[in-house]
Structure 1
Amino acid sequence: MSTAVALLANPTAGRGRGATYAGRALRRLRGAGVEVTALQGADHAHALDLARAALAGGTETLVVVGGDGMVQLGADAVAGTSARLGVVPAGTGNDVARTLGLPRRDPDAAVEVVLRGHHREVDLMAVSGRRHVTVLSAGFDALVNERANQLTRPRGQLRYTLAALDRLRVLEPIGYTIELDGETIRTEATLVAVANMASFGGGLRIAEGARPDDGYLDVVVVAPLTRRELARSYPRLFTGSLETHPRYERRRARRVTVAAPGVVAYADGERVGPLPLTAEVVPGALRVLVP
């Protein structure tokens, strides 16, 4: 593999696993004779600037340690260059690692993947000037995320549980206008997602079988569900069987615009912004190191 590597970590990922895994990755890479520059950004923008500066200075491999948010940052930095992205998963979701078959709980094994240097070209999803890797969520799950971010307590998963209960209490259909490669659809729905990969949110398999290298985005629309139907259907996201639900519809497109009032979309676990938003596939934009 390349001997010029930059390592960028989110030390708070996985409730502190990020810092531990970053230290182990740094020692293992240097122990293998790799020249490693350790980067630490003060925030997302600063970290992205550091990564891009390292790549502009000749770094050929950027290794990120963290969850899907860090992978998104790394992909944003690497896309459009000849550099490759290595991933040491340390988050709570790790959907990119799940999709690409990367070791999710063994940082030493993840570093071995980096050292072997085998890469795969995958698509990215461009939204509002940034490139995303997994899924743009723009339905009930996005509303839950937005509500959870408004709460100051409690901390951890319980905050999302309370946010879900709060949004479920006021659940009602959302009116969407969706453009798929120029075709306009107006519909009401409970869930809408634009997927580059099959899962998001720690294994929610919204678009089972979606390929990250086919040059398309998978657009999922779940027609309005009652509170009881949503509660009963939600576990099916973890098994990939939601697609057999009679209100589940899936289309494919290269360019998708989603509009709806009052919805703030999320992608790769991060807040993207209020709708309307346009997502466009960027074929083969990312060279990522895989087993």
Structure 2
Amino acid sequence: MTRSVTVLTNPAAGNGHAPEAAAAAIARLRDLGVEVTEIEGESAAEALALARKAVAEGTDALVAAGGDGLISIAWQALAQTGIPLGIIPGGTGNDHARLFHIPVDDPSAAADVIARGTVETIDLGRITQPDSGEDGFTRWFGTVLSSGFDSLVTDRANRLRWPRGPMRYNVAMIVELAQLRPIPYRIVLDDQQIELDAAMVTVGNGTSYGGGMLITPNAEVTDGLLDITVITAGSRLRLVRLFPTVYKGTHVELDEVQTFRSRRVRLEAPDITAYADGERTAPLPIDIEAVVGAGRVIVGAPIS
């Protein structure tokens, strides 16, 4: 039984749905006798500072009430501390919630999961930049790191002022498809080095991104390995036809898709930015490593 939690909220998540979900879950937690401390940052930097302060002062769990972007902030505070993550889904994608069997559309049921306090230890992905030194850039992620076509679409969508909502990504995808070009990648794995032209390269600690797209369908968060999906360069039409198969994870059976497993990965490609857990992370080159047991999470059902 969880006795006390700190709930981190994001009022902008889920097109404003997050505060409503958070309020319902917090009320349920208090009804169940859980002591709740609420924190809310005006910016990502402030939210991270508050989360780190809560972790340093001690809490049974840090609960992210929002989407995968807020969970990304929580991981930066929680990684390798032993304090578990709790999830109240309130975003648009909610891929962490799906991965850890948290009810997506019922905040009271998500609160029940948190109060029950069934914790599992998982791997996290750690991103660093080559030659940045011991005090250099470090980011943690729980689900998927993307680079290539999908990250270019996200880059463009973030620059667009119109339209608002999901349609913005559709417009960005159309524009990027029109400008589709092969991207020369160098991928360094534990046991081999690959140089090829690709449309996108994705590294998964978990299985999905983008609200259920199973881009690395066979990834496991407890095996100490990262799953890498490489979609080789091809025509626009072939790329468009491939995307529906990603929701079922069957794209990995196609000829234009290669998959690998490795504990460590280096990605190099010109003018490409990586996104992890849906958040802009760093320009390539980057190093990614599966760190065994770096995270703990309150789960709705066993994950292994």
**Aligning the two structures, in what range does the TM-score lie when normalised by the shorter sequence?**
over 0.9
**Is the counterpart of residue 29 in structure 1 residue 38 in structure 2?**
no
Is 1:4–1:58's contact at 8 Å kept on the other side of the alignment?
Answer: no
Measured in 1, the distance between the counterparts of 2:23 and 2:97 equals 20
Q: Which residue of 2 aligns with 1:118?
A: 118
Matched residue, 1:197: 206
Deviation at 1:82, TM superposition (A): 2.4
Normalization by structure 2: what TM-score? Answer: 0.93
Cα deviation, 1:57-95, whole Å, max 9, x if unaligned, reads 121211111111111222221111121111011111111
Query: Of the candidates 223, 227, 234, which is equivalent to residue 214 of structure 1?
Result: 223
Indicate conservation of the 8 Å contact 1:60/1:82, yes or no: no
Aligned to 1:238: 247
Which whole-Å deviations, capped at 9, do the CAs of 1:26-47 have from their partners, x for residues lacking one? Answer: 2111222222110011111111
Correspondence list, 1:33-112, <5 A = 33-112=33-112
Q: Is the CA contact (8 Å cut-off) linking 2:82 and 2:295 kept in structure 1?
A: no
Partner of 1:172: 181
Aligned-pair CA distance for 1:232: 1.0
Q: Which residue pairs with 2:164 in the alignment? A: 155
- AA aligned to 1:4 is S
CA distance in 2, matches of 1:25, 1:64: 11
Q: Deviation per CA, 1:140-162, whole angstroms, max 9, x where unpaired?
A: 11110011111111111111111
Gaps of 5+ in 2: 129-137
Give per-residue Cα distances to partners, 1:249-275, cap 9 Å, x unaligned. Answer: 111111111011111111111101211
| Residue 273 (str. 1) matches residue 282 (str. 2) | yes
Partner amino acid, structure 1, of 2:34? V
Q: TM-score, normalised to structure 1's length? A: 0.97
* Contact map agreement 1:11 1:22 (CA 8 A) in 2: no
Instruction: State the alpha-carbon separation in 1 of the partners of residues 191 and 39 from structure 2.
Output: 42
Deviations 1:217-259 (A, max 9, x none): 0011111120111111111111111011111111111111101
Task: Count how many residue pairs are aligned between Structure 1 and Structure 2.
Answer: 291
Deviations 1:94-133 (A, max 9, x none): 1111112111111000000001110111111011311111
Amino acid paired to 2:218: G
Shift of 1:48: 1.1
Alignment of 1:257-272 (within 5 A): 257-272=266-281
Pair 1:226 & 2:235 matched: yes
Which residue does 2:264 correspond to in 1?
A: 255
Secondary structure of the corresponding residue to residue 102 of structure 1: coil
Whether the 8 Å CA contact 1:127–1:279 is kept in 2: the answer is yes
Q: Secondary structure at the match of 2:17?
A: helix
**How big is the shift at 1:182?**
6.0
Give the % identical residues. 45
